[in-house]
Amino acid sequence: MKPFVQKNKIIIDTDPGHDDAMALMLACKSAELDVLAVTTVAGNSTIQNTTRNARYILDCIGRSDIAVYSGASRPLKRELVQAVVHGASGLAGIDPQNEARLTHDAADQIVRLVRENPNEVTIVTLGPLTNIAQAMAGDPATMRQVRQIISMGGAISVAGNKNRVAEFNIFVDPEAADVVLQFAGVPKTLVPLDACNQVQMHLNDFKRIQDKALRTLLLKMLRPYIANLHVDTGVKAALMYDPLTVFFLLQPELCQTALYNVQVETNGELTRGMTVADRRTVTDGLKPNATVVTDINAAAFVTRFIDTLNGSSFQG
């Protein structure tokens, strides 16, 4: 008899997106994680597309049992700015045609799940933080019972990927990111571009996926993603932003971190969405509000990603 292992209960808040799709695959196929729900937000694409894409990926990996709740269709105070690298559908290369089945209640469902599982739920965010900010505003007492929040977002000491200084998720809804980072009582971790830029995967890596249907799906997705990234960033590989956030939850010991007080620029024109970390020796006295991932073991990530996707059958 196998020993009982207590799984980490998580909610994945996401805007698929190619890297979001791969993060969903990694999380849902990891035996250590109990995915309570997937909540969707507008970001990489419209809320219709991101919700449809999330349902499509879950169906493909045989996890249509996981509830999907759609959320914010636009940032708290701004018009939506969509990504380019993921194409018009959000998943260029496969362009799903299934129904989105919007529910419009992601923030309420997040609060409900936290209330039902106090101090047990980790929220993994892979897109703009609009849903999380709305949940915090709607029921702050319950949201202080979140175990931790792990977010793909920010650029601490590297260039931005949306403007000169800002990472895309924070840029899209800087007001929401500011709400989340300033929300007291919940541990928060940022997985920023500083760490994500270090990890790249190539088409030959994905050819190690044993299941033919899953391998074919990934290669169809990744060819346009890599081509668009090359135009956008100069990188000729798949940057694995969102899967790295799941990897940190799974194996934090393989990552290096630092504690910072991080604030978000919401007023600047040139600096919209900048994550400003106080890295001075003598600070202004504000306590650290975030753990920031500074380095990730790239080889270990690639091995873990491939091994996990090879660990269970794919439902094509």
Write the pLDDT tens digit of every residue in 150-180. 999 999 999 999 999 999 999 999 999 999 9
Distance from CA of residue 233 to its chain's centroid? 19
Pinpoint the alpha helices (H) of the chain.
18-28, 47-60, 106-116, 130-138, 140-143, 168-172, 174-182, 193-196, 203-206, 212-233, 241-250, 298-309
Say what the pLDDT of residue 1 is.
Answer: 46
CB 49 within 8 Å of CB 13: no
276 in any annotated domain: yes
> Which positions ≥6 away from 165 have C-beta within 8 Å?
155, 159, 265, 270, 271, 273, 274
314 in any annotated domain: no
1 in any annotated domain: no
* pTM, rounded to two decimals: 0.96
75 in any annotated domain: yes
Q: What is the pLDDT of residues 79-120, one digit of tens each?
A: 999 999 999 999 999 999 999 999 999 999 999 999 999 999
97 in any annotated domain: yes
CATH code where residue 49 lies: 3.90.245.10
Q: What is the mean pLDDT of the chain?
A: 95
Q: Is 125 helix (H, G, I), strand (E, B) or coil?
A: strand
CB 203 within 8 Å of CB 219: yes
Name which of 32-46, 145-159, 281-295 the model is least confident about. Answer: 281-295
Single-letter amino acid, residue 94 = I
* pLDDT class of 70 with cuts at 50, 70, 90: very high
Say what the pLDDT of residue 200 is.
Answer: 96
Mean pLDDT of 232-239: 93
In the chain, count H helices and then E strands.
Answer: 12, 12
Structural domains of the chain, count: 1
2 in any annotated domain: no
Distance CA 11, CA 28 (A): 11
316 in any annotated domain: no
User: Alpha-carbon Rg of the chain, whole angstroms?
Assistant: 18
162 in any annotated domain: yes
Structural domain range at position 19: 8-309
